[in-house]
Structures are given as C-alpha cells and as structure tokens.
Amino acid sequence: MNKDLRKFSNGDILISPSLLAADFCQLGSQITEVAAAGAELLHLDVMDGKMVPNISFGVPVIESLRGRSELLFDVHLMIDRPLFYAEKFVKAGADHVTFHIESSDDPAETIKEIHRLGVTAGMSLKPGTPAEALFPYLDDLELILVMTVEPGFGGQSFMADQVAKIAAFKQEIARRGKNIHIEVDGGIGAKTAPAVLEAGANILVAGTSVFRHPEGMAAGVAALR
C-alpha cells in the first residue's frame, strides 16, 4: 500500500476517513475495516485544547495503530507548537503531517522540519483565515487542508462558503504548475462531496459519513466515490 503522498497525483480522488468518528473501543478492527472498504489514507486529528477547544489523542494512540495498519497516516496537528512535536509524531508513525497557519510556530521552519523528518508536509487554515495567507508557502508543500467547519469537534455542519477558498487554491496551484493536493475536512458526505470536488479538492476527509454509515464503512466509502 502506498504510504507516500507524492506518489499520488492531485487528480486522484482519495478518501481519508477521520478516526475521531470511530468507536475507540474497537480502533484496531475499525481501521482494518476502513482499509478493506477502499480508503487510501487515515486522518488522525491531534488536538491540544489550546489551538482548538478540544483534546483528542496523541502519540501513544498513533504508535499503537501503526502496528495494525498499512494505510497512509494523514496526521492533522491542531496544536499550538507543531514544530516542537513534529518529530514525536513522525517517530510514532505519521506518513504525512499537516499543521495550522494559526499555530505559534514559524511556518517555514515547521515545513522544513517536517521534510527533514522524511515525510510530506501540509498546511491548514481555519474558516476565518483567507486562502492567500498560505500562498507564500505553497511551493514547499505537498498538501493544503481546507476546513469546512470550525476545527475542534466532529459531526459539524458543512460550511458552503468555504468552497470558494478551495477554488482559489486550485487556481493558484494550477498557475504554479505544482502537484499539491487539496484536502477538505468538515461535514463531508455524499451530498457535500460533489461541490468540493468540482471546486478542485481531491482528498475527502470524512468521519461520521464513513465510520457511522448505517450500512457500514464500505457503503460509506462507496457513497463518497
């Protein structure tokens, strides 16, 4: 299984189920099931209770899951000090690390450190931050993550006004001729996926619509496809 984001084209449609929506008493079997359902990535939301108003899980959980899965671990650091913690998460098993422009650490230094650790780097932004805030860093990134909810909690409603931000990134990426993935996270399901894909996204983060689909995870992934 491919664990290097650079080996995918930004024209490939990829599914990254969000672990936040899984049954935490059954994590091992649930990620096995979601891989069998056809997901290419596993989205791991790390929250510190400071940059976002919630606390999720950290290094020990990712380290434990790494031994159970060959999925590409798509680690989203919603934390205030990504530069300080990046190495710990890569050693735990992250294949890709995304951090926020709103964090306290220097963005350029954080990207450089993530690449030094041998994995791909992504940047994300909250709904209130304009797309242009990330433009100075685009040439050094493999992924942009557009949040279509306020980060911190799963199960929120999709914010349609963020679709224009996806289109802005797509246009700028095309202008530069880069193979940068555009990932979207927040309220993504069969009804909202078409709009973000049409705008230019190619990686769909979906929690509730996959892990809690009434007909099972395979049906959830198939509905997104």
List the catalytic residues.
Answer: 45, 185
Q: Report yes or no: 127 and 149 within 8 Å, Cβ to Cβ.
A: yes
Alpha-carbon gap, residue 51 to 80, rounded angstroms: 5
User: Is residue 120 classed exposed, middle or buried when 0-12, 13-18 and 19+ CB atoms within 10 A define those classes?
Assistant: buried
DSSP state of 194: H
Q: In the numeric block, which tokens belong to residue 9?
A: 């084209």
The runs of H, that is alpha helices, within the chain are 27-36, 59-66, 82-92, 107-116, 163-176, 193-199, 208-211, 217-224
Alpha-carbon gap, residue 203 to 45, rounded angstroms: 15
Q: In the numeric block, which tokens belong to residue 8?
A: 């995918």
